């Protein structure tokens, strides 16, 4: 089990962050299971969801998505994670990670800084607390970038440039969020 440290003074914010973290682990577990070859290869609905957010299926892209999702799950399930509130951050910021943390995740542990806007959005749904944590964790352990933001732009990215979609943080956010209904 991951060692979770939450550095948040406000009890309501603390509880929101803890609940979001636990839900992220649940959804990543579902996404990880779906991406397993025994499920992915046999279930047309799983492949359809993949194609929606990552585009045309290729062995290389599926392998990359599988690795990133598995790495995110391992990080949040087995390694040190720190959620820290940063109320000094701009009011429009949901969350961020520092560049020095990016890519160092699996062994060193990770810190995700939660901005003021994080605590104003819903737990689940598109552009939610759960999705925000997924987005940031994908930067840390999957070395994803911010090529596009938002549902419409990420759908277009998947359709027109699957190779870039598999490196885009919001595509992982939206893909993993789809497992809340399964």
Q: Which residues are catalytic?
A: 136
Rounded Cα distance between 65 and 158, Å, is 13
How many other C-beta atoms can be found within 10 angstroms of the C-beta atom of residue 65?
24
Rounded Cα distance between 147 and 150, Å, is 10
CA torsion 180→153→143→51, rounded to 10°? 60
Nearest to 102 by CA among 145, 150, 67: 145
CA torsion 86→165→47→28, rounded to 10°? -20
């Amino acid at each position: 089990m991951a060692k979770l440290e939450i550095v948040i003074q406000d009890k309501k914010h603390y509880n929101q962050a803890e609940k979001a973290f636990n839900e992220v682990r649940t959804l990543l577990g579902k996404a990880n299971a779906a991406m397993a070859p025994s499920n992915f290869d046999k279930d047309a609905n799983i492949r359809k969801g993949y194609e929606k957010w990552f585009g045309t299926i290729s062995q290389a892209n599926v392998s990359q998505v599988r690795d990133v999702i598995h790495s995110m799950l391992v990080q949040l399930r087995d390694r040190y994670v720190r959620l820290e509130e940063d109320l000094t951050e701009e009011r429009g910021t949901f969350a961020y990670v520092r560049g020095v943390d990016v890519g160092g995740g699996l062994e060193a542990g990770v810190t995700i800084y939660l901005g003021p806007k994080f605590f104003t959005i819903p737990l689940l749904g598109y552009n939610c607390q759960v999705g925000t944590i997924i987005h940031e964790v994908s930067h840390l352990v999957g070395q994803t970038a911010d090529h596009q933001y938002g549902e419409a732009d990420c759908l277009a990215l998947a359709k027109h440039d699957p190779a870039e979609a598999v490196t885009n943080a919001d595509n992982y956010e939206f893909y993993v969020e789809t497992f809340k209904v399964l």
